[in-house]
Amino acid sequence: MAGPLSGVKMIELAGLGALPFGTLKLASMGADVIRVDRLSEVPEKPVPGPGSFWDRGRRSIAVDLKHPSGIETVLRLAEGADAFLEAFRPGVVERLGVGPDEVMRRNEKIVYGRLTGWGQKGPLAQSAGHSLNYEAITGLTRALGPRGGPPVPVMQVLGDFAGGGLHLAYGVVCALFEAQRSGKGQVIDAAMADGVMALAAPFYTMSRIGMHTEELGTNLFDGGAHFYNIYETKDGGYVSVAPIEPHFYALLLEKMGLDAKELPDQNDQSRWPEMRELFAQTFKTKTRDEWCALLEGSDACFAPVITFEEATTYAHNTERGVFLSSEGMPELKPTPLLSRTPGDPGISPKWLGADTDVVLTEFGFAADEISALREQRAIA
């Protein structure tokens, strides 16, 4: 693997969406991530299948974590790793025998990353939940929705992926950097709720000083402002405008064919509702493509609102080479883009546990040890 994390070895106990998203990002930057899959999930006759976006860039071994020899296998892997990552409910890995104390007793330099929704401690720590729940206690969900309507859920980009997987990856990289100087590892308690609050940090201050109110759809960034909003076009498409700065706003008005002298001041909040209506009527006079031809690439702070499918062929994205084509499925180039040690998307394992023998051999297991573990049904 290429990338700035090349040479860094990580052990990932297989988990759901948020954790593999974080390890995907670490792997795409060069980390050698070895995913420990559950032996019980390996089919009797594994066959190569289409690569999974979630699996990309990692190798897979399959271990029975309920078998003493399986636990010992994982602990031996930890001895030669730089990071160990898990996303179980608090206390589960301790009961299995691969908690922070056991792992760090084998390797004091290892970084132990723990990803949960609520965190390792707190009244909700042992409660089940999903991305929407973790987002809900941050204040952010309460701020999203139309004027006069209820708050609306957003896709799990905030809780699972940004607040969870990326939050964990950031903590891992920080701890690895510190371990190079101190020679000691540490435990990372990455809670998705904490991560969402970190993303929303500016809004806590804005709310306190009156720049953001609790009334939905009346604020600058929640659809209240006519100049920071989304509008339907003549053909049923949508466009976004966001000219916050006065000179950008003036340009937008000019290109829309509106006379600024006949309109209220941009920041007169009492006139925002009527201005939203004027903008809505104006944008419905042309199709989305016609507005693109008029506004795209200008300083009017404009962009079309497109679908996931359209994003794969959108000119700006294709020019930057953002999407990679893999077996007919669009996959993304590792970002951010590094000039000297760019990331590498890597390949997916052929099947669960496909790399068991190779990985164990690399970590010092003898052939007879691997055979014995297989006979005990401790590994795939």
Which of 130, 299, 344, 357 is labelled catalytic?
130
Active-site residue (options: 32, 37, 82, 160): 160
Name which of 6, 49, 16, 3 is nearest 350 in CA terms: 49
In DSSP terms, which residues pair with 229 in a beta bridge? 241
Specify whether 130 is catalytic.
yes
Rounded to whole angstroms, the Cα distance separating 256 from 278 reads 11
**Short-list 326, 360, 345, 295, CA closest to 60:** 360
167 an active-site residue? no
Produce one character per residue of 4-14: b if its CB has 16 or more CB atoms within 10 Å, e if not. Answer: ebeebbbbbbb
In contact, 56 and 26? CB cutoff 8 Å: no
Residue 287 backbone dihedrals phi, psi, to 5 degrees = -80, 170
Beta-sheet pairing, 229-232 with 238-241: antiparallel
Pairing outcome for strands 302-305 and 187-191: unpaired
- CB atoms near residue 319 (< 10 Å): 8
Q: What are the residue numbers of the active site? A: 130, 160
